[in-house]
Chains A and B, each alone.
Chain A
Amino acid sequence: MAQIESIRTPDGTVVKPGEWTSAVPLYSVVEIGSGSFPLLTAFSYGRGGAVPGSPGPRNSTLIDTNLQGEGGRLPENEELITYSLAIELFKVGPALSVLQFPDADVPGVPAVDMLRLQRDVVVRFRVASVRDYVDTPLSFWPAGTGIYYSISGGRSKVSGAAPNGEIIANNGGPSVNNRRQLASPIYVGPGEQFGVDFRTGPGSVVGLNLALDSRIRTRAWLDGLRRRPVA
């Protein structure tokens, strides 16, 4: 086998690529409701911990986060070099009202609600509790995931027999290439505190059309290189 197992950098440091992967992005979910909230922090919990903002709250599973440990910091035996921050949105549960705009089939987000979220939510990525690395509206960090829908006709499941139809939206284009790359990668060291905070300017997402227990499931992605222990 001619695989490269170690690289010596010009300063003499030896790096073992086998410990690093670019195929296991870190992700974490928070859930945004129609009421006011001061702060929801992704990566503030590990697997099994309560999902911030969720009804209940509910305990997380692997689909909510792959962060190990108690949350709020990277495990001592891991490192992260983030090249991309991305925010993906799903709607879970029905709209409060369809008097003003048609609801969308779950997990689609109605276009007006997507714009309200993009308008009001600000995303902050902080490392080591002393420095913010981005602090920018949600819309600036496209999901780079989603669906190119083709929908024929004006009917949806949620509208039943009535031809109400739906108008759904994605946070940016749904292609991988639509994701924004950081001009300067962000490094998170072993055991270092970090988090992605979701805050709103007005204190809530104004006009968000969700029933009491409905939520916008918000998945934050940290894409890049990750060092994990190998056997």
Chain B
Amino acid sequence: MADSSIRTIRIGDKEFALDEWSHWPLYTTVEGAANFNVSLRGFSYIVGQTVPKTGTVAQRIALISDTNQATRARINRDEAYICFAMTYETFALEGSNNSAYTTPPLDEESAAPMLSGTNLRMMQMQLMLELFLGANINKPMASAPLSWYGQSAGAFVTGSGDAVTIANGAATAINMNYGTAGELSANNQRRWILPVEINSDTPMYSLLSSPAGILNVDQNWRMRQYLDGLKRRPVIA
């Protein structure tokens, strides 16, 4: 079907040919240990390189579920990006703390990969999430405490009753605590009125940090951050 759709848009003094652009979320993953300082750079690696982490969390190699960056710490030479939102989701790391269930989670704790709502709220209070562009430029293009960013991806959870029971030796009641940063809707992410353009070859990274020191959470955690926007990629002539 031939269409009469918009073929170019102008942002500032630049005109963009939409044929070359498509909706392409970029994502990256960082991991942290319970009760540890946080200063982690996202979008700083590609698949096959190491995932940024803090503390005693095991070092591991990035997989396709960790990032889809084509080039580490910058936008690839034949690509560009227009970012109109940032969002994130969290998981507790399995195989650590209470996730092995050899000891059932205590009341008000959560079983990995569920991150407790209390821990997520603590992250909202103590963590900063920022986006930086350019070499040696300290002025962020986005910067706010984590609570400012809505969570548009994640699991919508419903529990039956006050407690549930697992058969770990004797029947044991466990009380779950789980939360998400707002309503789990694709609309639950702030759409920036002024999108951020990331030019080809421009250095970029996100910074997740705890400026006041230790992040007081009792689970090891993983955060996957998303840049939502349009990506320009080469098209076949």
Which A residues lie at the B interface, using CB under 8 A?
9-11, 13, 15, 20, 79, 81, 98-102, 111-112, 114-116, 118-122, 130-131, 133-137, 139-140, 142, 146-149, 151-156, 159, 162-175, 177-184, 186, 199-202, 206-207, 227
Contact = CB atoms under 8 A, between A and B. Distances in A.
Given A140-B25, A172-B154, A183-B230, 20 more contacts: A10-B4, A99-B167, A101-B101, A111-B176, A114-B157, A122-B68, A134-B24, A137-B27, A139-B89, A139-B155, A140-B152, A146-B156, A167-B157, A167-B160, A168-B158, A172-B153, A172-B156, A173-B184, A178-B186, A180-B186
Interface string B211-237: 000000000001010100110010010
A174 B156 contact: yes
Given A139-B155, A142-B184, A151-B158, A111 B114 contact: yes
Nearest to B23: A183
A184 B158 contact: no
A159 B161 CA distance: 14
Contact of A133 (B1, B22, B114, B183): B22
15 contacts: A100-B166, A102-B164, A112-B112, A118-B89, A118-B91, A133-B24, A137-B65, A140-B27, A151-B159, A152-B161, A159-B165, A164-B166, A172-B153, A172-B186, A202-B63
Which 6 A-B pairs give the minimum distances between C-beta atoms?
A154-B161, A201-B65, A201-B63, A180-B186, A165-B164, A13-B2
A163 B164 CA distance: 7
Nearest to A104: B160
A142 to B, nearest CB: 6
A116 B222 CA distance: 12
B21 A15 contact: no
B13 interface: no
Interface of B: 1-4, 18, 21-25, 27, 63-66, 68, 84, 89, 91, 94, 101, 111-114, 152-168, 171, 176, 178, 183-187, 222, 224, 226, 229-230, 233, 236
A168 B163 contact: no
Contacts of B94: 206-207
B165 A184 contact: no
Contact of B164 (A164, A174, A183): A164
B111 A139 contact: no
Contacts of B84: 183
B155 A118 contact: yes
A115 B168 CA distance: 22
Contact of B159 (A9, A121, A167): A167
A199 B64 contact: yes
Contacts of A165: 159-161, 163-165
Contacts of B186: 142, 172, 178-181
Contacts of B156: 146, 169-174
Contact of B1 (A15, A142, A166): A15
B39 to A, nearest CB: 23
Contacts of A156: 160
A85 to B, nearest CB: 10
A101 B111 contact: yes
Contacts of A162: 165, 171
B158 A149 contact: yes
Contacts of A79: 1
Contacts of A13: 1-2
Contact of A136 (B25, B162, B168): B25
B171 A122 contact: no
A94 B22 CA distance: 40
A122 B65 contact: yes
A20 B98 CA distance: 53
Nearest to A84: B186
B155 A115 contact: yes
B166 to A, nearest CB: 6
A151 B21 CA distance: 45
A119 B160 contact: no
